[in-house]
Amino acid sequence: MKMQFDLDLFFAPSNRLVDEITTLVSRAAAAIMAISPSGAAERIKPDLSPVTAADEAAQSVILEGLSRLLPGIPIVSEEASEPTPILEPGAPFVLVDPLDGTREFVAGRDEFTVNVALVRQGAPVFGCIAAPVFGLIWRGIVGQGAERLDLPAGANVSACRSKTSIRTRKLPERGVVVAVSRSHLDPRTEHFLAQFPQAERIACGSSLKFCRVAEGNVDLYPRLAPTHEWDVAAGHAIVAAAGGLVACASGEPLSYGQSTNDFRISGFVAFGDPTAVDRISQLTS
C-alpha cells in the first residue's frame, strides 16, 4: 500500500517542498518554451478548447515530479489521459493546468502560465504560477503570505534573482482597476462590470489576472462564465495568501473537488480587498 505524504510537513517554516515544487513549475515552463507555437500541433478537444504538444510536455514534467514529491496525493490535471482519481471528501489533492492560456500561446502572445495548486478541505491552500516568457513565478501559502520570484524558465529556485513579498490593496474610492478575460468576456461579467463604469479595464489571458490582483495592481477580477477548478485554484491560493479573497459573486465560498461535476466552477470574483465583498455583492444581487 502506497504511503501518503504528510501534508502537515508542507506548512513547516523550514520545509523545502515549496521550493522543490517551484523548481518543478519552472522546469515545466522551460518545456513549453522549447516548443514553437507554430509547430505545437494544435488539436481541438471535445469541449472545443485547444491543446498542443506544449501542454503535454509541461504536464509530463509536472506529473512525474509531483508523483515523486507528493506520494499518494491524488493529482487532477486538465490534460490527463488517465481516469480521474477518486477523491475522498475533504481529502487533499493537487490541481494542475500545465498550460493555462493555450489560445494565447498559439497566437504568439506572452500571456500564458503554468498552474499548480494544493487543495485541502475543499479550498486551495498553496498555489504556484509561472509566466514562462516573463521569467516570473508567483507563489503563496494561505496564512503565510505570497511572493513573486524573478526566476528564468527552467532554472532551479536557488538561482532566483530576486524575491518580492506581495500584498493586495484596499479597494479605492476612485480609480478602480479591473482585470478581464481576453478570450472569455461574457454577458454576466459585463453586467457585473456595469457597476463600475469608470473602472480601468485591463484585458489579459490566463491566470496572470490573479497575480495582478495579488500584487495590488488590480482590484477586481470577475469571471462569471463557467470554468474549471484547475484554471482557478492556484490563483485563488495566491490571492488569498496575499490578503485577498476569491468567491462567488454573491460572496459565498468556492468549493473544490467537484469531480461529479467535471470539476466545473460556475463563476467567481477575485477581490483584492475582502472588506469590499459585501458592498459589491449588494450591487450585483
Residues 77 and 63: beta-carbon distance below 8 Å: yes
Please, what sign has the CA dihedral across residues 80, 260, 89, 253?
positive
| 29 sits in which H/E element | helix 17-33
DSSP 78-94: TT--SPPPP--TT--EE
pLDDT at position 2: 45
Domains, the chain, with CATH or none: 7-166 (3.30.540.10), 177-284 (3.40.190.80)
- The CA distance from 84 to 75, in Å, is 8
Judge contact between 139 and 147, C-beta under 8 A.
yes
Query: Averaged in consecutive runs of 10 residues, what is the pLDDT profile of the chain (285 residues)?
Result: 58 79 98 88 72 94 95 90 79 96 92 96 96 97 96 96 97 93 83 89 94 98 94 98 93 91 93 87 52
Residue 53: the pLDDT is 92
Give the pTM: 0.93
Cα-to-chain-centroid distance, residue 35:
22
Q: How many C-beta atoms surround the C-beta of residue 4 within 10 A?
A: 13
Q: What is the pLDDT of residues 210-257, one digit of tens each?
A: 999 999 999 999 999 999 999 999 999 999 999 999 998 778 899 999
